[in-house]
Structure 1
């Protein structure tokens, strides 16, 4: 009878009842309640289940139409278990077939050691079939694939950003290298200008010293000439008349004036040369 219990085999204590509601069809748990409430009106449980299968065929299909139906699978397994007590000599074989089908369809089913102990309890309504588990895993796989694709996209974006940053770093490094080269060239040019300025200063000082030496030599020659003129004047005063002395004095004055003019010309020439050398090149 539907809802009756068998002695062995079936759902372990850890198994969870299957009651997932599918869109467009009644849930397994709801169909199970209908079987329990309406089955008593039928003399044969097999006839009742066949009627329910026909009713299910006419019901709206689930969104996943075309795949295994958990309720129809549970009913078929239950009918097979019910038939095992009505086939006489073949009861052990039918129970063996039912047990093998349960093992192949339901992930938490534990087959009895002795198939003859297989009962008619509605096991399929309390167990999760493998195909339902696979469907759930496929849904999870879709989510994981979507997350993986999103992660790949983020990685691709990150790789592009890393490439752009590397390119920017390379560009900055090249700019730094160019700036370092410009700084080095500027330092070399500055040192060269300093060396040239120092050399020009030394040359300028040497030229000034030469002009001063020439001026000093001219002054010394003038002093010697004046001394000689003075001596000649004394000698002339003692040897020549006063008229000649006056002429000589006039000549000496003229010579002195010429010497002064020569000295002034030399000084002006030195100053002019100093002014020319002091102008930056």
Structure 2
């Protein structure tokens, strides 16, 4: 039997972090293709606007406000979504944030918050969703990682580590989820033009428009491969770079990001580029 892959009409698509950025764009893409979507985030107003925008589309978007850091709340959300809208056949855990973390100004709180949303925020929704999928005998799980999880990048110690955890977590789960007829996928985007990246203080190579990124993500989900990554001309370069010997990798990355030209900012722990899409 082939591993389950979602089709329109099977059940609902649940997306966290759907109020902005790629989560919002992916929700609209799925609705355009005829899927019924439940969009979650903390902002009721933004979710209501998203649902209204989907009005003339073939599918639908229903807003469901929740906070991915609320473990009990996420468990209740899964139950309420299925009671109101039917089985969750595809769950996309997209909510995330980014706090710059530089070695000269480390802040443990930034790590706590980053992992609380980017990793444990995924777990809080994934565990109850998988319990439902096991009962249904099928399902599809998508977790949004990042190419920053491939190798260490400047100013991304917390963010990159949380995304590396997502990749390792997904690889580990696949061995058992395949037996449960639950397809698991990890999305590793490069730089996407969203509120999460717009305040970055460095040049972002191969910056991708959010609509194109969302189209690539939806196509990858429907195709069913384990990893979905884009834009490939950039992300595959990073894959190659992570196979370099460490001295070569550090030399190339410093040059590529002009990190030797960056000034140290002792005591500066201000999260200058923080956007939480949840």
TM-score of the superposition, structure 1-length normalised?
A: 0.24
TM-score of the superposition, structure 2-length normalised?
A: 0.24
Which structure has more relative contact order (CA 8 Å, sep 6+)? It is: 2
Structure with the higher helix share, 1 or 2: 1
